[in-house]
Amino acid sequence: MTTSTTKTELRPISQIARDIASECSKAKSGINYAAKPYLSAMRSLSSIKDQYGLDDARSIVNYFLCNASGFRGGNAKNLKNELKAHLKG
């Protein structure tokens, strides 16, 4: 009997960023001003191995998560978990 381990496919960071922006537009509080530049940068990233200017995607995602602690409600937790999965991978 063989068992197969299937690694779940991660969505591109840019797609997650678009979903975050959509969630933020629905929320009254929006997104923290300090997280906005990182959210904007994430829109052009596919994977955690990408670069945005001189910054690597890992740093951008980490900085976003640190500055977006107030991003709550709706699908926020799932979206943050998707970004964290990129960091682990």
Instruction: Specify the pTM.
Output: 0.87
Query: Cβ(31)–Cβ(68) under 8 Å?
Result: yes
Query: Cβ(35)–Cβ(71) under 8 Å?
Result: yes
In angstroms, rounded to a whole number, what is the distance separating the alpha carbons of residues 30 and 89?
A: 29
pLDDT tens, the chain, 89 aa long: 444 444 578 999 999 999 999 998 877 767 889 999 999 999 999 999 999 999 999 999 999 999 998 888 789 999 999 999 999 97
The amino acid sitting at 21 is A
Nearest Cα neighbor of 71 from 41, 13, 37, 26 is: 26
Q: CB count, 10 Å around CB of 16? A: 24
Would you list the domain boundaries of the chain?
A: 13-88
